[in-house]
């Protein structure tokens, strides 16, 4: 039976589709609406012989992938970074050429498959992103108020949510500035209330999740770190070894080797930056605030004496990612102090 392969270059409104056979002969090319029903009707004549439908990672692609997978199409999600490197040799960068390139990558087996996160993990990530956005905006408002205090002579009490005027050269200008500052304080108070509500939701989710409760037994790991790590991993079985988790989140050093040249650099910073940040903060808390003795903390403190705090925190964050994954997949009790 002849094997067919399809490539989908997904956009917000339109999707480029290309279907080829095993000999890389183009059977169909076109542009369709980015709708699962429309794409499925286009691929239906080739469905019985389709061996793979390639789609790159992305926000819109995730939704289309799941909808077509439910209709029993052999969906394959390609790593966008790897696919981009493979498609750079094209003379022209167009949606049509990208769709054809994705189909050819499937045809020749030259691709790296990426994991598509579950709806539950995406919902947790969205909640964490919403909290981070509110915290950033609240910080921006606080900094704006503090800068106004220097310009106009405010005395600010952010905890008590009050603004007082000291001395004013012009009454009209002072009144306008005070009204603006009060408006900012009211906005900051509303944002703080929303952040507090989201924190309560996240704490409830972490307490009701046995995996998060187990991860939080690690010194330095709290609600936000546990939920961020769990949502990013989603399926721990997709890692054949726990040692690869640190590299997945960009916490291992870059390396360039060619002949006699072998250069090692700083960490790669590949993968999810929010997970990397959460692990770094958890490692820093373990080194600076935790009083519980553990092999990881003692190792990190020794690194701090030799190389400094930031170096030790990054190294502990990498090891912490490995240990957390191992705690997740190990059925028997795992002691993080070992």
pLDDT in tens, the chain (338 residues): 689 999 999 988 899 999 999 888 999 999 999 899 999 999 999 999 999 999 998 888 888 999 999 999 999 999 888 888 888 878 888 889 999 999 999 998 888 899 999 999 999 999 999 999 999 999 898 888 777 776 766 555 555 555 554 443 334 345 556 677 778 888 888 999 999 999 999 999 999 999 999 999 999 999 999 999 999 999 999 998 999 999 999 999 887 777 777 777 788 888 899 999 999 999 999 999 888 888 999 999 999 999 999 999 999 999 999 999 999 998 544 555 55
Q: What is the pTM of this model?
A: 0.84
287 neighbors 304 (Cβ within 8 angstroms):
yes
**What whole-number distance in Å separates Cα of residue 252 and Cα of residue 177?**
49
Distances (CA, A) of 172 to 151, 168, 169, 279: 15, 9, 9, 50
**What whole-number distance in Å separates Cα of residue 127 and Cα of residue 125?**
5
Rounded to an integer, what is the distance from CA 115 to the centroid of its chain?
13
**What whole-number distance in Å separates Cα of residue 84 and Cα of residue 174?**
56
CA Rg, the chain, in Å? Answer: 26
Please give the DSSP secondary-structure letter assigned to residue 238.
Answer: G
Nearest CA to 136 out of 92, 191, 213 is that of 191
Number of Cβ within 10 Å of residue 298's Cβ equals 10
309, with CB counted inside 10 A (0-12, 13-18, 19+), is: middle
322 neighbors 334 (Cβ within 8 angstroms):
no
277, with CB counted inside 10 A (0-12, 13-18, 19+), is: middle
Phi, psi of 256 (to 5 degrees): -125, 115
Token pair 């988790």: residue: 245
Count of H-run helices and E-run strands, the chain: 12, 9
243-264 burial by CB neighbour count: b if 16+ within 10 A, else e?
Answer: eebbbbbbbbeeeeeeeeeeee
């Amino acid at each position: 039976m002849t094997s067919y392969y399809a490539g989908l270059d997904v956009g917000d409104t339109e999707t480029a589709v290309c279907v080829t056979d095993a000999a890389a002969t183009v059977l169909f090319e076109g542009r369709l609406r980015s709708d699962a029903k429309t794409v499925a009707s286009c691929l239906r004549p080739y469905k019985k012989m389709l061996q793979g439908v390639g789609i790159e990672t992305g926000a819109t692609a995730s939704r289309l992938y799941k909808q077509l997978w439910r209709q029993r199409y052999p969906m394959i999600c390609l790593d966008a970074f790897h696919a981009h490197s493979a498609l750079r040799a094209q003379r022209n960068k167009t949606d049509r050429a990208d769709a054809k390139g994705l189909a050819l990558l499937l045809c020749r087996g030259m691709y790296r498959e990426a994991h598509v996160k579950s709806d539950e993990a995406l919902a947790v990530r969205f909640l964490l992103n919403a909290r981070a956005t509110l915290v950033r905006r609240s910080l921006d408002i606080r900094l704006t108020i503090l800068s106004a205090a220097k310009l106009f002579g405010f005395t600010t009490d952010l905890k008590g949510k009050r603004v007082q005027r000291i001395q004013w050269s012009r009454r009209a200008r002072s009144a306008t500035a005070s009204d603006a500052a009060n408006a900012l304080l009211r906005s900051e108070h509303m944002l703080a209330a929303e952040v507090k509500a989201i924190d309560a939701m996240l704490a409830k989710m972490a307490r009701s999740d046995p995996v998060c409760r187990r991860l939080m037994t690690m010194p330095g790991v709290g609600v936000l770190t546990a939920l961020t790590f769990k949502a990013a991993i989603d399926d721990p079985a997709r890692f054949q070894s726990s040692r690869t988790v640190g590299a997945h989140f960009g916490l291992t050093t870059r390396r360039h080797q060619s002949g006699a040249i072998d250069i090692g650099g700083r960490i790669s910073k590949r993968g999810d930056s929010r997970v990397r940040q959460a692990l770094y903060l958890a490692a820093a808390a373990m080194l600076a605030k935790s009083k519980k003795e553990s092999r990881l903390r003692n190792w990190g403190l020794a690194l701090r004496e030799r190389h400094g705090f930031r170096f030790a925190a990054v190294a502990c964050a990498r090891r912490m990612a490995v240990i957390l994954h191992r705690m997740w997949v190990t059925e028997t009790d795992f002691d993080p102090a070992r």
